[in-house]
């Protein structure tokens, strides 16, 4: 195996490790802000943060981040249940997907997606409540949850309007593979490097 192949594999491992560390830090921020704002119903930065993460993280790390967030949130709040945990996971995974789909669209589209998610998040819980409590829970649940959905939608709109672009610009360099001095020397084909690779291939 050539020295150049070893260097490429080492760099790939470093990038993966950087992404894992970054994902852990972003997850910690997600949990911390929600706990700090827990006394304000449906006032949070969760939506804008997940949409920012969806714009900068690889897809598989985004899924792991959402899974970790839902598990930790339910663990902290002691809220593991059929009518809460599965719809919560489904809703945040849907937001992650929406965030990836709109990340290159205009700000108007991104704001519209954030606004509508405020209602979608509440609606996702309805089928699970109907499974547990029966079909007649549909209208009472929808009516009682509507004020919270409106608050969440408005909160989503303004937090995304104010924070989405700045946070994406701030965090994107940390999630993007940047060329290093090692990378630049790797592509220079000097006689010394050529001799070293030739000797290794003969070995």
Would you list the domain boundaries of the chain?
A: 3-176
Query: What is residue 40's predicted lDDT score, i.e. its pLDDT?
Result: 87
pTM of the model: 0.79
Query: What is residue 129's predicted lDDT score, i.e. its pLDDT?
Result: 93
Encode the chain (203 residues) as per-residue pLDDT tens digits.
Answer: 444 444 444 444 445 788 889 999 999 999 999 999 988 888 999 999 999 999 999 999 999 999 999 999 999 999 898 899 999 999 999 999 999 999 999 999 999 999 999 999 999 999 999 999 999 999 999 999 999 999 999 999 999 999 999 999 999 998 875 543 333 333 334 344 444 444 445 55
Map the chain to HEC letters: CCHHHHHHHHHHHHHHHHHHHHHHHHHHHHHHHHHHCCCCCCCCCHHHHHHHHHHHCCHHHHHHHHHHHHHHHHHHHCCCCCCCHHHHHHHHHHHHHHHHHHCCCCHHHHHHHHHHHHHHHHHHHHHHHHHHHCHHHHHHHHHHHHHHHHHHHHHHHHHHHHHHHHHHHHHHHHHCCCCCHHHHHHCCCCHHHHHHHHHHHHC
CATH architecture group of domain 3-176 = Orthogonal Bundle (1.10)
Query: What is residue 142's predicted lDDT score, i.e. its pLDDT?
Result: 93
Query: What is residue 185's predicted lDDT score, i.e. its pLDDT?
Result: 35
């Amino acid at each position: 195996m050539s020295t150049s192949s070893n260097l490429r594999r080492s760099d790939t491992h470093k990038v993966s490790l950087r992404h894992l560390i970054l994902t852990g830090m972003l997850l910690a921020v997600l949990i911390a802000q929600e706990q700090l704002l827990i006394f304000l119903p449906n006032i949070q930065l969760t939506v804008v943060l997940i949409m920012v993460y969806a714009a900068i993280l690889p897809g598989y790390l985004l899924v792991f981040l959402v899974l970790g967030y839902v598990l930790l949130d339910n663990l902290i709040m002691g809220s593991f249940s059929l009518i809460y945990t599965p719809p919560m996971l489904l809703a945040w995974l849907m937001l992650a997907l929406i965030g990836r789909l709109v990340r290159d669209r205009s700000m108007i589209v991104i704001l519209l997606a954030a606004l509508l998610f405020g209602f979608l998040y509440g609606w996702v819980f309805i089928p699970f409540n109907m499974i547990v409590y029966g079909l007649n829970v549909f209208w009472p649940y929808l009516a009682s949850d509507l004020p919270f959905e409106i608050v969440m939608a408005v909160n989503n709109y303004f937090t995304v309007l104010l924070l989405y672009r700045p946070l994406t610009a701030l965090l994107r360099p940390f999630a993007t593979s940047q060329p290093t001095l090692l990378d630049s020397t790797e592509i220079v084909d000097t006689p010394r490097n050529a001799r070293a690779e030739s000797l290794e291939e003969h070995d």
